[in-house]
Structure 1
Amino acid sequence: MKTLSVYSLLIMICLAGAQVSVTAQDLENIAKEKAVTISGGASARMMFYSASGIPQRRKPFSYVLTGSPVVSLYGITIPLYFVYSEQERSFRQPFNQFGMSPRYKWVTVHGGYRNINYSPYTLAGHTMLGGGVDLTPGIFRFGFMYGRLNRATAVDTTSGSFDAYQYNRRGYAAKIGVGKGSNFLDLIMIHAKDDSTSVGDVGTKVQRVSPAENVVFGLSGAYTFHNLFVEGDAGLSLYTNNIGSSIAFDSIPEILKNTLGKFININGSTEFYSAYSFAVGYRVKDLSLKVQYKRIDPDFKSMGSYFFNNDLENITISPSFSLLNRKIHIAGSLGLQRDNLQNQKESTSRRVIGSGNVSATITERLGVDLTYTNFTTRQKPGRVFVADTFLITQTTGNIGIMPRYMVAKENITHTVLLSWNYMNLVDLNSATASNNNLNSTNMFLNYQVILPQKNLTLFVNLNSAKLNSATTETGNKGVTLGGNKNMLDNKLTLGLSVSVMQSTTAGKSSLLLNDGLQCTYRVNTHHSFNTNMNYIGSYPGQSQPENPRFSEFRGEVAYMINF
């Protein structure tokens, strides 16, 4: 194997390990720009590790090279990113991505790995390897993308089975619309299909995952008129779970089947889903009010998105306003939510969601924040009888108070921050209340003093947490001391923190130490060195196999360059 120069290696890493987002300046002024410029940064890090009393959680030594260079060609900026680590040596094909989206006036071209977002229920940020274009001439909006959404995987990484786990999936998405900024209306479509031949022949084995096909039609828009605004998104998804199924779909009208059949193969495994959300609101200087409605069918999915929180319907009202020359700001929301939209579950859950926040500036030095949330869930039996013992009926309340006090002078600044939070879960089901009720209390007090003339910052933190349930009581309390100091004309920064915490579980106590030391030396604006050392020690009162006495040391040395 031939030895590569350092520059050649960096170039290969940039091209093989980069995820790129490219934008361009107006090419009409290209003659005024420099031919080639390079900026950005890179770092080299070495990590050290050792442990006693427990198995090693990582390698004793590792390293990683990272960088984010930005290459500019006649004003066209191309940001790059690379990562090279010794841990990747075990991979035959590391996860390499490269893509760009150069723009000229109202034309944007996409190539490589891209994450495009057309609307929440159609193409919503799914990574696609391919190409596309966005056109925005005047008030018109056009978009098109084509490429690979999933790469074929013949091995289930969780079980090691060589059955088909994920097929090669390709698709395209198109958008046509009108409008600019916050006033627009878009029609969107995405179609994707699995290649059933992309993972080879599984023989007589039953396929654990069937090749699927999906088409989604979407509508997205928003409009603002003076202080009023409306916005909405909708999606209709046709999802064929097995494109090889021989079962016919007979319950759909023939005219609709012939129309939709031009976009997707419809059979007995085809399912129809819908999802939509709509909001209307009003905004003025110190007042806003928004009402939103959302409904997502059970199992709604699109091959252009990774995940949907489905089978829900909710309506929410969210007011916000300020008083007394904006010294007091009040915001809140109140909503109703339910599931089991198609009566397929054994029970239906209904939730009341409420929250409120008050932020008050009492004086120039004193302020306070108050928060309150309440979540109530009630389940009722559906068509199938369900015993009361299995029905959830509970309410969760949360109250938080956070006063703050700050005194800022020329030679010293004092800051005091106190936080108190209480959570209470009450089971309203008489059959299970005695076992499920619980509450927790969390508090911390932080004091920080800054001495600008001495380039010194000191802090102390006191914290306490307690959780009470029907079966056990756990808690912890501790103190953290630390500070940082700048020296040598701010070229050298030293930081130290020492934390001691005592935890208690079911009457058994344990002591935890966490100490850290940081040192940063800036040679100049381009070069700097950084070291971090951290020690963790756990000392239970009674050492047991599930709770052993152990210690860990982690260290890191890094060199960073900005160019």
Structure 2
Amino acid sequence: MSVKAKKIWAFLLVFTVIGTIDRVESRQTIGDTDIEVYTLNGSVNLQGHAYSTSQAFNRRDPLGALTSINLDYSFMGFTSGLDIRYSTEDSQLRQSMNRFSFYGSWRWLTLNAGDVNPNYSVYSLQGTQLRGGEIIVNPGSFLFKATAGRVNRFTSAQNGIRPRDFSYERWVYAVTLGVGNQSRSHFHLSATYGRDDTSSFPDTTGLNVPVTSTLSPAAENVTISPDFQISLFDEVFKLGAQSTLSAFTRDVESSQLTADEAGIPSFLTSLYTPRNSTRLSFAGRAHTELSFNPFQLRVEFRRIQPGFKSMGVRQIRDDLQEITVRPRFRLLNNRITLEGTYSMSEDNLLGNRISTQENENIGVNTMFQLSDNISLNGGYNRFSSVTTSETNNGSRQLSQIFQLFPSLSIYSGSVSHHLSFGAVVQLMESSFPGFNGADTRKSEVISGTLNYSLTLPTGLSFNSSLNISDGDAGTSSFTTYGATAGVGYPFLNGRIQVNINGGASFNQTESMGASDLVVNENLQVNGNLTASYNIASGSSLRLNLRTLNNSITQGAGQGFTEMEGRLEFQQRF
């Protein structure tokens, strides 16, 4: 065993031993206050898996392991935590799946290190994981926040295998100053700076490896984002907005521009160098909320200019303008809930594209708790899209979805029955311009599910489900039938729990070929066994085995079989 592996196992052993410490001691308080001397809780998970398939390629590694540690600790008011996730399936062909993060907090000061998820502005830096650090200073109504870290690691071909996307190392830095309460009235001003690190690219001199064939030029980006909200009448009324101004340079090797050529004040060039490939754009949204029992209303408007990009947001759709209205009613002590959504959007905001798309979406959801045992949920959604251009009337698409979900629960002593039903009908219509007028196509899909479960006083439980789906698009159709059943039972006063589930699904598709009808049929059969054992207080062992067989009963295709096993140990403390 390597030195590194020994250190990891020793680290895990320490945490497992700590988890056996009597937790009563951690609940002692200081004097007459409710401040606890120290608290310690968390978990350690060790998991191994084996996978096998008859297919020509594996969906995952044949053997693998996953280790995860979560720890939260406090001492005399100081709080700290640790979160680790390490998988042997991590690959240099993509961004890392592993995670290591640490935090420490004392009163109004918080430090985060490792893999952090900063929250600045929805269009500048939000929901993107960085490997670096963050500091948050929040005494009273004042806020200071700073973040620095790596968004992407360099990815390239490995052992002749090409990644989905080549990328440089990408670093992002961010800072925020503000006053107020984030959920109430506040004003924040944020700035971010990001740049691709060209030094992360390896030296391929003399190597006949076309690793740059799909690698985009190194980019650079700076954003400024003001954000404000006004909250009145004890949060009954809110009005707010946030916007992001982004200067994005597509190629840092492109020619530089002077301040006069770029049309900006000269002092800005010392902060950010404008180039031929630099584009200035913005995105923003505004909202207003009205909330008083039993009514809530939120109206939101957003606009994202064409070509808008930000290194702190991995995916964003540009060239979009949308307004959304969301009313909600809660009646009879929340036994009845009515929710609605109406939105309209359009693109081609600058009018420089050959076509314009306009969308309209209407949605209604209802939830009725008719009694303690009976509930009824339903919904309707209508989405329409119209694409027009100067040369023709364009195309039209209409989709309507109807949903109904009743459920019934019956309790008789220690025996419980749960029965639920689901029905979904989807109607679609598309119209495209043709040589002889509009070409209209219609399709419909009808789906239904039925679920039943039973729990007995002995702990024995049964579950079953049936599902059917049928679709017709004129020249093609499909039908799917499926059924599942399972049973579970506890042994040794609940220390061992065993669950067995199995199911089958039959799928048939029909389509018109060049001269005749083409029929394809396949049958899938699956099984799952899960067994868990509570070794001691906070310690458990879990085994999961699953198998899947897909066979082609008619038509083209290739069947396959796959099997997977997982063994997991968990220590909670």
Q: Shorter-chain TM-score category?
A: 0.7 to 0.9
Tell me the residue number matched to 1:353: 361
Q: Distance in 2 between matches of 1:509 and 1:224?
A: 59
Q: Cα–Cα, structure 1 residues 221 and 62, in superposed 2: closer, same or farther, change >3 Å?
A: same
Choose the corresponding residue for 1:519, options 531, 534, 548: 531
Quick check: 1:483 aligned with 2:475? no
CA displacement 1:469-507 (0-9 Å, x = unmatched)? 132111111221212122321112121222122211124
Q: Confirm whether residue 535 of structure 1 aligns to residue 547 of structure 2.
A: yes
The answer for the alignment partner of 1:551 in structure 2 is 561
Cα deviation for residue 540 of structure 1 reads: 2.9
The Cα shift of 1:65 comes to: 3.9
Mapped partners of 2:153, 2:56: distance in 1 = 39
Q: Which residue of 1 aligns with 2:26?
A: none
Give the structure 1 partner of residue 500 of structure 2. Answer: 496
**Whole-Å separation in 2 of the counterparts to 1:130 and 1:244:** 27
Residue in 2 that maps onto 1:222: 229
Selected match of 1:212 from 209, 216, 219: 219
2:20 maps to which residue? none
Partner in structure 2 of residue 126 of structure 1:
128
Q: Which residue of 1 aligns with 2:11?
A: 11
Q: Is residue 228–residue 282 contact of structure 1 (8 Å, CA) maintained in 2?
A: yes
Residue matched to 1:372: 380
Q: In 2, Cα distance between the equivalents of 1:416 and 1:149?
A: 47
Residue 462 in 1 paired to residue 451 in 2?
no
Structure 1 equivalent of residue 522 of structure 2? 510
One-letter amino acid of the structure 2 residue matched with residue 213 of structure 1: E
Give the letter aligned to residue 313 of structure 1: Q
Letter matched to residue 555 of structure 1: G
- 1:59 Cα shift? 5.3
Question: Match for residue 562 of structure 1?
Answer: 572
Cα distance in 1 for partners of 2:246, 2:398 equals 35
Distance 1:235 1:157, change over 3 A: farther
When residues 151 and 367 of structure 1 are mapped into structure 2, their CA distance, relative to the original with a 3 A threshold, is closer
| Amino acid paired to 1:412 | V
* C-alpha distance in structure 2 between counterparts of 1:381 and 1:312, whole Å: 17
Unmatched 5+ stretches in structure 1: 16-27
- Corresponding residue for residue 241 of structure 2: 232
Aligned match of 1:396 in 399, 408, 419?
399
Deviations 1:383-404 (A, max 9, x none): xx3x55xx43111111101111
Instruction: Note if 1:264 corresponds to 2:266.
Output: no
C-alpha displacement of 1:547: 3.1
User: Which range moved further: 422-431 or 44-53?
Assistant: 44-53
Partner residue, 2:188:
186
Shift of 1:251: 8.0
Q: How many Å apart are 1:228 and its aligned residue?
A: 0.9
Equivalence for 1:19: none
- Is the alpha carbon distance of 1:158 and 1:78 closer, same or farther for their aligned partners in structure 2, counting shifts above 3 Å? farther
Q: Decide whether the 8 Å contact of 1:435 with 1:471 is kept in 2.
A: no
TM-score by length of 2: 0.83
Q: Is the 8 A contact 2:72 2:80 kept in 1?
A: yes
Q: How has the CA–CA distance of structure 1 residues 456 and 12 changed in structure 2, closer, same or farther, with 3 Å as cutoff?
A: closer
SS in 1 for 2:313: coil
Q: Which residue of 2 aligns with 1:172?
A: 173
Cα distance in 2 between the residues matched to 1:66 and 1:522: 19
Contact residue 249 and residue 268 of structure 1 kept, 8 A: no
**Contact 2:87/2:98 (8 A) holds in 1:** no
For residues 299 and 50 of structure 1, do their structure 2 counterparts lie closer, same or farther at Cα, with a shift above 3 Å needed?
A: same
The question of whether the paired residues in 2 share the 8 Å contact of 1:13 and 1:83 is answered with no
* Contact map agreement 1:14 1:80 (CA 8 A) in 2: no
CA separation of 1:13 and 1:473: change in aligned 2, threshold 3 A: farther
CA contact (8 A) 1:257 1:266 kept: no
- One-letter amino acid of the structure 1 residue matched with residue 230 of structure 2: Y
| Structure 1 residues 429 and 151: alpha-carbon distance in aligned structure 2, compared to 1, 3 A threshold | closer
Q: Point out the more displaced range, 181-190 or 258-267.
A: 258-267
TM alignment of 1:296-311, pairs within 5 A = 296-311=304-319
CA distance in structure 2 between the aligned counterparts of 1:168 and 1:509, rounded to whole angstroms: 47
| Contact 2:259/2:269 (<8 A) preserved | no
Secondary structure, in 3 states, of the residue corresponding to 1:343?
coil
Q: Does the CA-based 8 Å contact 2:551-2:558 persist in structure 1? A: no
Separation of aligned partners in 2, 1:275 and 1:354: 25
Q: Which amino acid aligns with 1:102?
A: G
The residue that corresponds to 2:408 in the other structure is 405
Deviation at 1:310, TM superposition (A): 1.6
SS of 1:496's equivalent?
strand
Map of 2:108 onto structure 1? 106
Aligned to 2:45: 43
Amino acid at match of 2:120: Y
* In 2, Cα distance between equivalents of 1:271 and 1:233: 20
8 Å Cα contact 2:47-2:568 kept in structure 1:
yes
Go from structure 1 to structure 2 and tell me whether the alpha carbon gap of 1:500 and 1:272 turns closer, same or farther (over 3 Å shift): same
Alpha-carbon distance in structure 2 between the residues aligned to 1:414 and 1:111 = 48
- Mapped to 2, the partners of 1:14 and 1:119 lie a distance apart of 40
- Number of aligned residue pairs: 537
Shift of 1:412: 1.9
Amino acid at match of 2:231: T
**DSSP-derived class of the 2:309 partner:** coil
5+ residue gaps, structure 2, are 16-29, 511-518
Give, in whole Å, the separation in 2 of the partners of 1:2 and 1:358.
Answer: 59
Amino acid at match of 1:241: R
Provide the C-alpha distance between the structure 2 equivalents of 1:334 and 1:100, rounded to a whole number of angstroms. Answer: 42
AA partner of residue 399 (structure 2): T
The answer on whether the counterparts of 2:68 and 2:86 sit within 8 Å (CA) in structure 1 is: yes
Aligned residues: CA RMSD? 3.6
Structure 2 counterpart of 1:484, which letter?
A: G
Post-superposition shift, 1:34? Answer: 6.0
Q: Distance in 2 between matches of 1:560 and 1:319?
A: 44
Deviation at 1:511, TM superposition (A): 2.5
State the Cα distance separating 1:38 from its structure 2 match: 5.9
Q: 1:195 to 1:562 in 2, by over 3 A?
A: closer
Return closer, same or farther for 1:59/1:292 CA change in 2, 3 Å cut-off.
closer
Q: What is the TM-score normalised by the length of structure 1?
A: 0.84
Cα distance between partner residues in 2 of 1:50 and 1:96: 23
**Maintained 8 Å contact 2:526/2:548:** yes
Q: Is the 8 A contact 2:299 2:323 kept in 1?
A: yes
271-280 or 304-313, which deviates more:
304-313
State the one-letter code of the partner of 2:229. A
| Distance in 1, Cα, partners of 2:253 & 2:57 | 49
Question: Which letter does structure 2 place at the counterpart of 1:547?
Answer: Q
Aligned-partner SS, 1:341: coil
User: For the residues of structure 1 that align with 2:416 and 2:12, how far apart are their CA atoms?
Assistant: 50
Residues 410-435 of structure 1, C-alpha deviation per residue, up to 9 Å, x if partnerless?
A: 13222211100011111133639757
AA matched with 2:354? E
CA separation of 1:360 and 1:398: change in aligned 2, threshold 3 A: same
**How far apart, CA to CA, are the structure 2 residues paired with 1:474 and 1:399?**
20
Change (3 A) 1:41 1:340: same
Does the CA-based 8 Å contact 2:241-2:284 persist in structure 1?
yes
Instruction: Report the counterpart of residue 363 of structure 1 in structure 2.
Output: 371
Note if 1:448 corresponds to 2:453. Answer: yes
Please point out which of 310, 313, 316 is paired with 2:321: 313
